[in-house]
Amino acid sequence: MLAQDAGFCPSRITEIGAGASRRLLAYGERMMVLPEQSLRLTVSGGRERAFSVRQAVIAGWTGRDPAALEKHIRELEDVGVTRPSSVPIFYRVSTNRVVTSAVIEVSGDRSSGEAEFVLVQSGGRLYVGAGSDHTDRVAETYGIAVSKQMCDKPVAPELWDFSDVSGHWDTLLLRSWIWEGDRRVLYQEGPVSTMRAPADLIERCTGSTELPEGTVMFCGTLDARGGVRPSRRFEFELEDPVRGHRIRHAYDVVSLPIAA
């Protein structure tokens, strides 16, 4: 089934009708009705408008350097995380997981954020923003696809038109911070060039040059300084040093108790 296929990116879904906030889809010979949600976002600090989210994809293992990627896979295998079936790999998550909230709720205290650049296809145009692939680290050891689905995926409420940054893409920088006690600590920092380029990811995901309309795709993250660990607050940004612009967002993490 589509919803259970962690490695599938929806290039063979055909929209055959729509009404209100629901879509009628054909996948092969099957018919499905799926909800979609709307996010209020701005483009380059302009007026806020609605972006329809029809499908959400988390691209994993997107590093450009094969040797560094293999080293990372082996490190995670050592702590119980299963090797991916392919690299990169594309996980589907519920569209309702994509949020702009300043607070998210998670089960237990073993989850953490990951700063990522995010691609959004809307109105025939490609946009780029920043987000956090917040992930349950306990679930990750027995099922990465499960861990991706368990947590909300916060995104910053601002996007850039991809054409504004495509000419100097590799200069863009990602950063994140966590809070340890009362200290704000730099957690991740590096260029987007450590991940595969957007066109490469889109081609590998869809087999075409464009994402399907209404797709939000998280595109990979950086190593965590000092190792992956939870925090009560996560802050992230995407910087364009050429234009002197930044997209920023932060959210607090509320840990819900797990009843035995």
CATH number where 187 lies = 3.90.850.10
Domain assignment of residue 24, yes or no: no
Q: How confident is the model at residue 13 (pLDDT cuts 50, 70, 90)?
A: very low
Partner residues linked to 129 by β-bridges: 118
Domain assignment of residue 20, yes or no: no
pLDDT in tens, 208-260: 999 999 999 999 999 899 989 999 999 999 999 999 999 999 999 999 999 87
Domain assignment of residue 249, yes or no: yes
pLDDT for 75 equals 72
pLDDT for 78 equals 78
Per-residue tokens: 43? 């483009």
Number of domains making up the chain = 1
246 or 35: which carries more pLDDT confidence?
246
pLDDT for 118 equals 98
Domain assignment of residue 205, yes or no: yes
pLDDT for 235 equals 98
Instruction: Reduce the secondary structure of 36-95 to three states and give it as a string.
Output: CEEEEEEECCCCEEEEEECEEEEEECCECCHHHHHHHHHHHHHCCCCCCCCCCEEEEECH
Give how far Cα 138 sits from Cα of 80, 107, 120, 179, Å: 10, 10, 29, 21
- Percent of the chain with pLDDT strictly greater than 70: 87
pLDDT in tens, 80-121: 788 888 899 999 999 999 999 999 999 999 999 999 999 999
- Out of 23-27, 103-107, 149-153, 238-242, least confident range: 23-27
Per-residue tokens: 103? 């607070």
Domain assignment of residue 12, yes or no: no
Nearest to 138 by CA among 107, 104, 115: 107
Task: Taking residues 136-147, report their average pLDDT.
Answer: 91
Domain assignment of residue 17, yes or no: no
Domain assignment of residue 10, yes or no: no
Distance from chain centroid for Cα 205: 14
Question: Do 26 and 17 touch, CB atoms closer than 8 A?
Answer: no
Whether residue 165 is predicted with pLDDT greater than 60 in this model: the reply is yes
Domain assignment of residue 53, yes or no: yes
Q: Which residue range is the domain that position 72 belongs to?
A: 37-256
Lookup result for tokens 């691209």: 59
Per-residue tokens: 186? 């730099």
